[in-house]
């Protein structure tokens, strides 16, 4: 075989291998598959390099304005605190952060609002990294736990907080009940999540069904709930005082999707730091990020906010 044919064959194999890697689904299988995915992203440091301490979307205002990517993520936490009325609570309130990632939100809640925060995640590597990033004088602790079967007794926390964890939950009714079960009577639940349009009102059309399937299969999501559907599940627990308050934050969070892709261009040091394997792994996420932007921009998906108060016993 001539050198040119050898090089051509190697390039073909390389391109084919990359293409296969890019299109290989990562479907939800169990809590273990979710944990493994987050363990891998945490161990290699790629997600933290580009997304910082906050593994969630940013808040760009209404109407959205240009903002630093990492600053928008921090702003999201403060906006969620204000929207939930948590800024009016006294110091020392106990908070459970469900799906805490590497602890970005938990540290803000502890440092800026003087809450006593417990963060839980299914990923042991995320817990390890969260502990490494948290100064000893910050009242935030982290542990491995399953949001579908929380290890805490009933009525353990003054506040339960969760950002973008719901899509990973295979049974949204159990998830809703667990969030409220560990909340003290009179306590506040504040949840921010990716949601699908309520298909009971407007069924998914011919292009929305495959797009939704791809979004689920690429990031280990069993299903998205709708804003209306998850509100109903919270109220169906019988543990909510009055009605669940909801809001749609699609507009202020929408720039996050393209901004996250732009980070790979604006921060070329990542290519040096993580090399070709890191570049390929990051490149794999671009189609899904673009689909997310399309889905949220077209109304197939919505960014839902939920606030509920635990009923008195």
Q: How many CB atoms lie within 10 A of CB 241?
A: 12
Does residue 9 form part of some domain? Answer: no
pLDDT reported for residue 98: 98
pLDDT higher than 70, residue 16 = no
Contacts of 265 (CB under 8 A, 6+ apart): none
Q: Are 80 and 189 in contact (CB under 8 A)?
A: no
Query: Is the pLDDT confidence value at 19 over 90?
Result: no
Q: In this structure, are residues 175 and 166 in contact, taking their beta carbons and an 8 Å threshold? A: yes
Please give the helix or strand (H or E) that residue 18 lies within, else none.
helix 3-23
**pLDDT above 80: residue 200:** yes
Residue with tokens 């950002």: 163
Q: Is residue 2 part of a domain?
A: no
- pLDDT tens for residues 123-144? 999 999 999 999 999 999 999 9
Find the CATH number of the domain harbouring 273: 3.40.50.150
Domain that holds residue 120: 27-309
Domain count, the chain: 1
Rounded Cα–Cα distance for residues 124 and 36 (Å): 9
Q: What is the pTM of this model?
A: 0.93
What integer pLDDT is reported at residue 26 of this predicted model?
85
pLDDT digits (tens, 9 = 90+) for 20-38: 556 678 888 888 889 998 9
Q: 7 lies in a domain? A: no
Maximum pairwise Cα distance, the chain: 80
pLDDT at 58: 98
- Is residue 6 included in any domain, yes or no? no
The string of pLDDT tens digits covering residues 143-195 is 999 999 999 999 999 999 999 999 999 999 999 999 999 999 999 999 999 99
| Residue entry with tokens 């993520």 | 73
Q: What is the pLDDT of residue 209?
A: 95
Flag whether 11 is in a domain: no
Q: Look over the chain and give the mean of its residue pLDDT values, rounded to a whole number.
A: 93
Residue 273 lies in a domain: yes
Q: Is residue 10 part of a domain?
A: no
Residue 71 is assigned to a structural domain of this protein: yes
Confidence of residue 279 (pLDDT cuts 50, 70, 90): confident
């Amino acid at each position: 075989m001539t050198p040119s044919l050898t090089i051509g064959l190697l390039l073909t194999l390389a391109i084919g291998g990359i293409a296969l890697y890019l299109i290989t689904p990562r479907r939800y299988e169990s809590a273990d598959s979710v944990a493994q995915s987050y363990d891998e992203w945490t161990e290699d440091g790629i997600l933290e390099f580009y997304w910082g301490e906050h593994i969630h979307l940013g808040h760009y205002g209404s109407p959205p304005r240009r903002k630093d990517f990492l600053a928008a993520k921090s702003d999201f936490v403060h906006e969620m605190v204000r929207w939930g009325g948590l800024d009016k609570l006294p110091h020392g309130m106990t908070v459970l952060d469900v799906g805490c990632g590497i602890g970005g939100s938990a540290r803000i809640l502890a440092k800026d609002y003087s809450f006593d925060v417990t963060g839980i995640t299914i990923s042991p590597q995320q817990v390890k990294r969260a502990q490494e990033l948290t100064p000893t004088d910050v009242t935030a602790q982290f542990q491995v736990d399953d949001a579908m079967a929380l290890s805490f007794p009933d009525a353990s926390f003054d506040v339960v907080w969760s950002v973008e964890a719901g899509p990973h939950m295979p049974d949204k009714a159990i998830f809703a009940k667990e969030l409220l079960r560990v909340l003290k009577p009179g306590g506040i639940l504040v949840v921010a999540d990716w949601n699908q349009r309520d298909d009971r009102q407007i069924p998914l059309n011919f292009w929305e069904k495959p797009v939704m399937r791809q979004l689920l299969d690429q990031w280990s999501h069993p299903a998205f709930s709708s804003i209306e559907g998850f509100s109903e599940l919270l109220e169906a627990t019988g543990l909510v005082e009055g009605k669940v308050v909801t809001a749609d934050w699609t507009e202020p969070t929408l720039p996050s999707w393209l901004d996250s892709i732009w980070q790979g261009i604006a921060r070329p040091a990542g290519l040096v730091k993580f090399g070709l394997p890191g570049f390929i792994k990051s490149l794999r996420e671009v189609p899904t990020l673009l689909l997310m932007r399309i889905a949220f921009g077209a109304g197939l998906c919505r960014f839902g906010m939920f606030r509920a108060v635990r009923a008195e016993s």
